[in-house]
Chains A and B, each alone.
Chain A
């Protein structure tokens, strides 16, 4: 008889036992409820509050509930206001206010002046996994040195880049930082709570709250251009809730977003709904991708299981101005947007490219005009979402042997161009000027040539202990 049965079930049971010993059991629910209940009683009836909020959003009359409501941090050039704030804090002598200021005004360092705003921007997290303190580093594209860095607290979104500012969302608010030196430009509270990742188009910044209200903000000041109640509810716009609300997409004067099985188009200037479409209730949209006068979006079957037996997805192309369906394409696999990853389709030229991370993991390319399959490439079960740039489709695969592989395919044919294998964790980033930028553990930024995958240059971010997430601003 064997001393140990090292099959999966035994190992899983061992792990469960181990963690039970380590973390213990949940405390008594009754005691927890005993502490929670009085707090519920002390708060406004949620339904009443909700209806009040909706009414306020419709009428715009109830300023206290309308978001965004005020600017907290003085923008660049408003030093008088900032000084006044400091003076007020001193006069009041409130330790709480000073502490609050310390939290909201992170430290900025600038090693030397920057010319223009083009360059590489790397987001790194501070401390251990789970920490939500992050730092944005601006890297000179030529010298690869850090130009400035700025801390974010509670950053809860991807970053969005405008002409001269970076935008990020935290719990209940939006930050804007000046690209030139990383200083805070404005900081807006949002009464309506959690927001999607921000999107910038022209002089407007767009976010959607979890109640389906899309907001257009002036990128310079953070002031609201308009808000639109789209009727979308993003609370669970995902399969098993595995995705957070996706960011809006903007093109050709139209703002799009999805929730559940509904897609909505909003006039970017007026903030009025242009059209909305729904698909079968068994299908759920991923985030839209707007290009020119079309919007592309995928849907997938909802399933509470990670790998259900029957799953399929569709890719749709809608006319952006009328909402007319141009074409749809069915895939017998599940296209799912993973948390923290790009949209599940990438559109380049006349091709719509995506993969199906659940089930077969294959990569597909469709003709953007007709929706016909152009090519299909076999990929791995462990593949992550595709990105496209410079005529190359690429995606990262975390193989189970501990390696990280960057796969590159020819955009036109789907044929394999090259693979690069890395022993360290790898985060692919943007493609610019025939280079793929990526973050590699523990603190490297690497630039690969799109033609052959060879490393052109790499640099370490001193003092950083997390894999950088990269953006490139032209």
Chain B
């Protein structure tokens, strides 16, 4: 990786292409969570990668590349945010979800997914954002602090609290279904 970065620093576009291919997914996922406007993601990432191209000569090659890139992506998302409103996400219908041979399992699966969506909808936006960055973008806690601007302790507590709330919600559903079956 270090040699790739060093080559890219010298203007080697092939090396830079390899960096793009390596980190495109995490950059896209992070931008997707932060921006929510799918139509603008490509432009944001283009700008962020151009920022990286411009900034690479000043980059120290023995340092990790990924957090630096995430910083660039976050900054571009912030700049774009004022031009967009958050996308309203339609709650999927139950029919969109998994179908299994076992009808009972199918119903339970649908109920579980619906309950998860309902439980997520009850979380604050900040909690939802932390969950998305953790489980969709797959960022480290410190990286979540980086891209959200939250203190690290706050990120940790948001995550714990959100997971706790989700467990409680889904447990309530399980008890309800078991009761219905009796």
- Asked if B116 CB lies within 8 Å of chain A CBs, one says yes
Evaluate contact between B78 and A130: CB separation under 8 angstroms.
yes
Residue in B closest to A18 when the chains form the complex, CB atoms? B116
Interface class of chain B by DSSP: helix
Partner of A37, one of B13, B75, B149, B150: B13
Least CB distance from A92 to B in Å reads 24
Proximity bits, A298-337, B CB within 8 Å = 1, else 0 = 0000001110000000000000000000000000000010
Evaluate contact between B50 and A36: CB separation under 8 angstroms.
yes
Evaluate contact between B42 and A32: CB separation under 8 angstroms.
yes
Evaluate contact between A306 and B142: CB separation under 8 angstroms.
yes
Evaluate contact between A400 and B160: CB separation under 8 angstroms.
yes
- Asked if A100 CB lies within 8 Å of chain B CBs, one says no
Least CB distance from B78 to A in Å reads 4
Evaluate contact between B82 and A236: CB separation under 8 angstroms.
no
Evaluate contact between A236 and B63: CB separation under 8 angstroms.
yes
> Which B residues are in CB contact (< 8 Å) with A29?
20-21, 24-25
- Asked if A83 CB lies within 8 Å of chain B CBs, one says no
Least CB distance from B62 to A in Å reads 9
Partner of B149, one of A2, A4, A133, A339: A339
Docked CA distance A12–B71 (Å) = 25
Given A241-B66, A241-B71, A382-B156, A32 and B24 touching (CB < 8 A)?
Answer: yes
Q: Could you say which of B67, B113, B148 has the most chain A C-beta atoms within 10 Å of its C-beta? A: B67
Least CB distance from A253 to B in Å reads 29
Partner of B57, one of A6, A49, A236: A49
Docked CA distance A156–B75 (Å) = 8
Least CB distance from A402 to B in Å reads 6
Evaluate contact between A36 and B49: CB separation under 8 angstroms.
yes
Evaluate contact between A236 and B68: CB separation under 8 angstroms.
yes
Evaluate contact between B56 and A130: CB separation under 8 angstroms.
no
- Asked if A348 CB lies within 8 Å of chain B CBs, one says no
Docked CA distance A43–B19 (Å) = 18
> Which A residues are in CB contact (< 8 Å) with B106?
none
Which residues of chain A from 14 to 30 have a CB within 8 Å of any chain B CB? 14-16, 18-24, 26-27, 29
Least CB distance from A203 to B in Å reads 30
Proximity bits, B22-40, A CB within 8 Å = 1, else 0 = 0011001100111110100
Q: Which 4 A-B residue pairs are closest in the complex by CB-CB distance?
A: A241-B67, A50-B57, A242-B142, A398-B157
Residues of A within 8 A of B (CB): 2-4, 6, 8, 11-12, 14-16, 18-24, 26-27, 29, 32-33, 35-37, 39-41, 43, 45-51, 127-133, 153-154, 156, 171, 193-194, 210-211, 233, 235-236, 238-244, 260, 304-306, 336, 338-341, 357-358, 361, 381-385, 397-402, 425
